Every structure is written in structure tokens, then in C-alpha cells.
Structure 1
Amino acid sequence: MTYFLSLLDKSPIPGGSNPERALADTVAYARHAEKLGYHRFWLAEHHGSAEVAGVAPEILAAWVLASTERIRVGSGGVMLQHYSPFKVAETFRLLAALAPDRVDLGIGRAPGGLPQTTQALQARLDKSAPPDFAALAEELDGHLNGELARPLPRVAPRRVLLGGSPDSGALAARLGWDFVFAGHFNGDAALIEASLGAYRTGGGRAPALAVHAFAATSAASARDAVRETRIFRVTLSDGRALNLRSREQAESFARQAGDSGFTIRETQPHVIAGSGEDVRAALDALAERFDVNELVLDNPVPDGAARRLSIELIATGTRRAAA
């Protein structure tokens, strides 16, 4: 079946490197993706981490847009609970005016960091009234439909909700937004089907699926490169839960939240790893199984050269299959 291939990038900082190098790698990654024909290049939002440099996708998106010519660029996504929906609408309308018909506004409900960074981001908010994500999304949609938030670009930014539950799928459908299921954090097939089903039932358009994927010159080397990839799900005593990349981060999250009754569950996320042809075949099967018209690839390997080679091998594998 036919589907788009897109990328999600966090600007990872490999051990011994620095943020400047990581951000330069992001630009090189985007340029390479454009040459290879990838559809979108999305930038994540993470706060307070020594492992990633991508804290402000809207700023980095402007730089990547200026450094490329055709590929769509956007946020994957803005963590809306921290911000004024009006300001987000202004920012992405400005980006859309700078790069017509190339800008995606993706939003998500995760905090994007540990409690201390969340508290710093929300310092001026009323702590007795936690932000309601659905209400914020509806407010943002209203500003994007109105004329108060300017400039008014010729082509509006494309609106995308990134989520991991049926509630998120239903909300995206109700707003008339595109929907991407975060399968790179939770690859449970039943949850994917339920979430995509809620989106379709609500009248949503063709959804997309985000997955972990990495290709190398041999299947063995690809599997070796992702062998240590882990997700640590910390669940607090009040039921709040978050996926993090290390046990240290999970324990720090609980400490900063002032919770001593937490639990941590370590899992090895499913990473589609192999040769370019191996990965392409697995992506084909996923697209057909879940009937999605786009797959967003999150590469768990931080090395810039390895990431660029990976997307080249996947793109070449796809072309060979088509031939």
C-alpha cells in the first residue's frame, strides 16, 4: 500500500557531544530527509534533559524551514498545557507566513519534562485549577479559525494532535484535526486500534502512526545499536504516569513530585530494526494492518551520521520495493 514516511527528531546529544552539535545534526538530518523525499520533519519538545537539545520546537522549526526548501516542518508537538493558546496560534501563523504551505502545528498533552520544569513553565498559572488539555485545544482551534491572532497567512498551518488514547483520537476528530498515535511510546496493538477507531468513528481523516525505527547496513548491527533502548514507566500513588528514558529520570520524577509510593516498570520498546529492506517490509505491514496513510519514524540512536544513514537505507529500501 502507499503511505507517507515522516520523521520525528529530538535533537539528541550523544555522550561527549554538546547542544550546538546536536542542533547542527538536526538541520543536517532535515536536509537529508528532504533530499530523500520524506514527507514531514517534526521537532519534539523536552525540558530539563541533558540528553536532548530540543526544548522549543517553534524556534527550531523556523531555523529548519529556513534551511530547507520543500519538506513540511512542524512541532511534534507543542506541550499545550504550558502555554497560552493565543500565543501558540500567533507563533504558528507567523511560521506559516514565512514558509507558505509547509508548516504543521502539532500539539500534545504530556509535560515534556520532570515536575520541576513543569512547575517552572507553569509558575504563573493557578495551581488550584490544573490546565485542561481539551479546553486548551478547543481555545487554540478557535484562535486558528478567527482573526485576532495574526498575521493571517495565505495557507494556515496544518493542525495535528499527537496522542496515545481513544480520548485523544476522539478529541482530534471533534476538532477536525489530523491525528497521530504515539506508538513509539506504547505499541500495544489493541490500544492503537481503539485510538484510531475512536478517531475514525468521530469522522476523522486518515490517521498516522509514530513508531521507533532504525536501519543499518546489516540487520545484526541495527539490532545491536538499539539493544539498550528502554522505556521506564513511573506511576505515582495518585495514578499519574509518565514514560521516561532512564530509571534515574523516573526516580527523579517521583522525588520531584514528592511521592514515595511510586512504582517503575522497565520495558524494551519495540524498535523496528534491520536492513533498509527489513525495516521497509515491517513498515509496509504496519501501514496495512492499521490502515494508516503515514508513518512517523522516531530514531532512538543519537549518533547523527547513523541517523542519516538509517533514513537513507529505509528510503532506498522503499524505492527498491516499488521498483
Structure 2
Amino acid sequence: MKLSVLDQSPILAGTDPSEALKQTTELAKWTDKLGYHRFWVSEHHSTNSLAGSAPEILAAHLAAHTHNIRIGTGGVLLPHYSSYKVSETFRILETLHPNRIDLGVGRAPGGMPNVNLALNRGKVPSVEHYPSQVEELLAYLHGQDPQGMDIYATPQGETAPPVWMLGSSGTSARLAADLGVSYSFAHFINGRGGVRAMDRYQGYFTPSIQQNSPQGNVSVFVICAETDEHAEYLASSLDLALLQIEQGGKRMSFPTPEEALSHSYSLYEEERIQDNRNRMIVGSKNKVKEEIEQLADSYNVDEVIINTIVNPFEDRLRSYELLAEAFQLNHTTTTMM
């Protein structure tokens, strides 16, 4: 079983964006030492409580500060950009850090609807072109000239970063299968339907220039602590944060457990919190290990990506450490795709 990390650079209460990015860097270095397999960073725009708006830049920084762990994006929101430009950005990263870079792509807007307009000169990008964009991206990464214009993504090299398609639906799963790329299901976004999506991906997979067989993983919120009780205490802040996001509330940071426990919840809000727990695994390390293994088994994958948002940051570090102990990770990790 491989364990990996998705970090969204959350801005915790009492901190600022600069501190959030420093924490992401510290977490990457820490999980590299612990033996985690990948470390992905996300793309969010005009979001007060998340600092990660340019994952390709953050990935370059993190790769330079780590040694073994794969570094990637979870992910670049491709409809906003030129496939050619993205391919050259990641060919640079691959040249600097061969066999350590992942290119995760998605098609979500990455923020409020007006983000689409701001990123696309006042126009809304057409997601119907997304499949051809990914196809083009794959070709450029592997030294091809998909448009027949006698142009190539440089610098060229013997290795190429693998493309991972990120999704939370069956549509993205089928597209990943048809294009022959790897697939990551965001269980932390959609706690239902993921098993069917992964089955669809694995069942319809078609070999490509990148790979001959399907490769999938699943990402989930995980909060691990010394005891079940302390894990529940820490998880209360994420419960409140997810609820406020659903209600359209604007926050400058993620709440503390003290704030969450002092909040007065309606019956409907309590029901929403329980429903959101389908996206989370919470508990002591033995309990969490068992549930992660069950999740991986249900998805028929051998890799789970952990997304942990707790306050204070020291408990976030400890959560990843406890998981590393539970799964007996070592201080070296493979650099294979």
C-alpha cells in the first residue's frame, strides 16, 4: 500500500498565506522523510482560506526542497490554459527533477464563476474541448507535434511526467480510460459513486503512449491522532469548515476546534456534518489504518492520497507521522510512476 499527500495550503486561524505556504513546504519535507509516495498541491483561485493558486510554481519549489517523494499538481485546471504552455512548464520540471514529477489535470473552474472570466479574458472556457486538450498535452509531453505545425515542447528529454486525470464523477473516469492516462478519484469531494467511477476507468482503459495498463488512486480527508477522542476533537474544525463552504460563507482561515465546538448547530447542519463524514476517515492510527485499507480495497487501488486539514499545524504533522507508523512506511520511496 502506498500513501501519498494532497495539500491545499490551508490558511489556519491565526496565520496568513505566507505561513500557509511555509507549512506546505515543511509538510512536504516531513512526509518525504516519512516515506510517502507523492505530494500533490492544488489550484484554487480567489479563495481566502487556501493559499495555493499556482501549483506549478509551488511544485518547483517543493521539488527543490525534497529528495525522494514525487511532486505534482492536484491539479492544473487545463481549460484555462494552453496545452502547449503547460507541457513546456512540466518539461522544465521533469528536466530539473527527472522521474519525480506528476502532472495532475482537472477541468473545474477552481473558484467562483467569475474566476472563469478573469482567467480567460472575459470569456467562459468551453469544457467540451477538454478531451482534445488532454490528448494534445500528452502528445507534446512525449515529443510529438499534434497540430502538425513543426513545433515541439522543449526542453525535450528521455522521460516525461505522467498525466493524471483528476475527477469526482464517472465522466472523467471514462475520459481517463479512453485517453490511456492515470486516474485519481476525489473521494474527499464526493463521498459517493467513486467505486463505480473507478470500475468504469479500469474496465474501459485503453493503452496509450504513456502507459499500457490502468493506474488509479483515491484521495480522502484523514485525521489521525493518538486517540479516537482527540481525533474527533480535531475533526470538529473540518466539520465546521466544510459546512460553511457548503453554505457559501467566506472565511479568511480554517476554524479552530474550540470555535467549532462552541458553534450552535441546527438539526439540518448536524445532518450535513454526518453526511460529510462519508468524505473523511477519523480516529486513532489502528482504526484509521483499517478504514484506509477498506477504502483502497473497495476502489481496487494500491494507493491512497491523504488530505489532512487540522488546526494547529503540529497536529497535522503528527497525523501524517502516525499514519506512517501504522503502515510501516520507510525513509525511501520508489520513483516509478
Question: TM-score scaled by structure 2?
Answer: 0.81
Q: Which residue of 2 aligns with 1:247?
A: 247
Q: Which residue of 2 aligns with 1:237?
A: none
Quote the offset at 1:248 in angstroms. Answer: 2.7
SS at match of 2:325: helix
State yes or no: 1:57 paired with 2:55.
yes
- Equivalence map 1:89-104=2 (5 Å): 89-104=87-102
Distance in 2 separating the partners of 1:244 and 1:142: 41
Indicate conservation of the 8 Å contact 1:94/1:150, yes or no. yes
Alignment partner of 1:139 out of 136, 140, 145: 136
Instruction: Give the counterpart letter for 1:154 in structure 2.
Output: E
166 and 304 in structure 1: CA distance in 2 versus 1, 3 angstrom threshold: same
Quote the offset at 1:58 in angstroms. Answer: 0.2
Distance in 2 separating the partners of 1:34 and 1:77: 20
1:92-116: CA deviations, max 9, x gaps?
A: 1100001011000000111111122
SS at match of 1:205: coil
Indicate conservation of the 8 Å contact 1:81/1:131, yes or no. no
Distance in 2 separating the partners of 1:244 and 1:176: 37
* Structure 2, gaps ≥5 residues long: 145-151, 206-212, 251-268, 330-337
Indicate conservation of the 8 Å contact 1:229/1:269, yes or no. no
Distance in 2 separating the partners of 1:39 and 1:21: 25
Distance in 1 separating the partners of 2:233 and 2:103: 35
Distance in 2 separating the partners of 1:115 and 1:231: 24
Question: TM-score scaled by structure 1?
Answer: 0.84
State yes or no: 1:117 paired with 2:115.
yes
Distance in 1 separating the partners of 2:108 and 2:235: 24
Instruction: Give the counterpart letter for 2:85 in structure 1.
Output: K
State yes or no: 1:71 paired with 2:50.
no
194 and 150 in structure 1: CA distance in 2 versus 1, 3 angstrom threshold: same
131 and 141 in structure 1: CA distance in 2 versus 1, 3 angstrom threshold: same
Q: Which residue of 2 aligns with 1:260?
A: none
* Structure 1, gaps ≥5 residues long: 234-242, 251-263
Structure 1 segments of 4 or more deviating over 6 A? none
Quote the offset at 1:146 in angstroms. Answer: 3.0
Indicate conservation of the 8 Å contact 2:237/2:311, yes or no. no
1:234-254: CA deviations, max 9, x gaps?
A: xxxxxxxxx98342349xxxx
Distance in 2 separating the partners of 1:315 and 1:232: 26
Q: Which residue of 2 aligns with 1:296?
A: 305
SS at match of 2:68: coil
175 and 163 in structure 1: CA distance in 2 versus 1, 3 angstrom threshold: same
Indicate conservation of the 8 Å contact 1:90/1:151, yes or no. yes
Distance in 2 separating the partners of 1:164 and 1:248: 20
CA RMSD of aligned residues (A): 2.4
What percentage of aligned pairs have identical amino acids? Answer: 37
Q: Tell me: higher relative CO, structure 1 or 2? Use CA pairs within 8 A at least 6 residues apart.
A: 2
